[in-house]
Amino acid sequence: MGWYQNLWAQLFGDIEPFANPKLIEGKREEVPNGLLARFALEVEPGITIPFFLLTPKDAKGQIPVIIMIGQGGKKEFLKQRSDAIAEFLKSEVAVCLVDVRGTGETQVGNGSPERTGARTSISQTNLILGKPILESQLRDLRTIIRWLKNRKEVDQQKLAVWGDSFAKVNARDTKLAVPLDASDFPSIAEPLGATLAELAAGFEKNVSVVYLRGLVKYESVFTSPYLYYPHDSAILAFNLGRGRAVWTTEPSNVEIHLDGLVNAQNQLIIDPPMAPVDAARWVIEQLRKK
């Protein structure tokens, strides 16, 4: 284990993939340009990680695969990133849509990151017990990646991860100093997908292409008293000195594109992100180079 992995392991604890998870198979159906198969992995008693695997129609031999992850989960990807998914299937790239615990269909209630919501309460309890929710989510994602690597139709040298946010960003002129229970409360950032994608690439050596959308510039947490940032990602912001990814040194074999970077007030600090279909084409181009 390299220095990068050691730093994160010290912060999180046990982040190794679950050994021998039980596979649960659901129904399959045809979709445009491919086949959608429903699966779940039971990683702990009573804890299952549901996911969709979309494979291109008539693909031959081993093919690349991209894992797409975000707080909204697989159904939100099908709704908001359908053009990107179609582009992958058309280019003979399989797509895996994952709901790690606390995301998508596994989230409690509506998954709101607001301070009084169930999601925040669960995150607080986990931190009190010394087990941040992000630790379990990273284990879940790594377990899915390991499962995919063992599929005979997957090209292990061409794995990509797409971490996304579906949160609406706040405009530059948004009034940030508002009461905590204001009816027009500013939108809260959703960096989870991009954060997990970034971390997965640091631990899973077969991941060679990463697309990050909606990542928070963690240093910005300390520039304003007004934070629009989910509690379950706070462990990263307050441990900046212990393990922030350093892409220029490790992992050096990863092609990465950072898109839609926001500050802790959920405001864009770089140009607006590219269209999802253009992002898909960038990923496909990078995978073809591998």
* 3-state SS class at 194: helix
Q: What are the helix (H) ranges across the chain?
A: 3-12, 73-80, 82-90, 118-128, 133-149, 192-203, 234-237, 240-243, 276-289
pLDDT of residue 252: 61
How far apart CA 59 and CA 4 sit, in angstroms, is 37
How far apart CA 165 and CA 198 sit, in angstroms, is 13
Topology given in CATH for the domain delimited by 3-289? Rossmann fold (3.40.50)
Give residue limits of the domains in the chain: 3-289
Q: DSSP label at 64?
A: E
Q: DSSP label at 102?
A: T
pLDDT of residue 248: 37
The answer for residues whose C-beta is within 8 angstroms of residue 280's C-beta and 6 or more apart is 83, 84, 85, 87, 88
Tokens found for residue 241 = 């000195």
Question: Do residues 226 and 265 lie in contact, with contact meaning Cβ atoms separated by under 8 Å?
Answer: yes
Question: Do residues 140 and 106 lie in contact, with contact meaning Cβ atoms separated by under 8 Å?
Answer: no
pLDDT of residue 241: 43
Placement of tokens 């340009």 in the chain: 33
What are the tens digits of pLDDT across the range 262-275?
Answer: 999 999 998 889 99
pLDDT of residue 180: 83
Question: Do residues 283 and 162 lie in contact, with contact meaning Cβ atoms separated by under 8 Å?
Answer: yes
What are the tens digits of pLDDT across the range 145-163?
Answer: 999 999 999 999 999 999 9
The answer for residues whose C-beta is within 8 angstroms of residue 288's C-beta and 6 or more apart is none
Question: Do residues 279 and 213 lie in contact, with contact meaning Cβ atoms separated by under 8 Å?
Answer: yes
Please count the other Cβ atoms lying within 10 Å of the Cβ belonging to residue 271. 9
Ranges under pLDDT 70 in the chain: 1-9, 237-252
Tallying the residues shown for the chain, one arrives at 290
How far apart CA 71 and CA 93 sit, in angstroms, is 23
* 3-state SS class at 10: helix
Q: DSSP label at 262?
A: B
How far apart CA 151 and CA 174 sit, in angstroms, is 48
The pTM of the full predicted model, rounded to 2 decimals, is 0.93
How far is the CA of 272 from the CAs of 56, 161, 169, 268, in angstroms? Answer: 30, 20, 10, 7
Burial of 195 (0-12, 13-18, 19+ CB in 10 A): buried
At 187, give phi and psi (nearest 5°): -70, 140
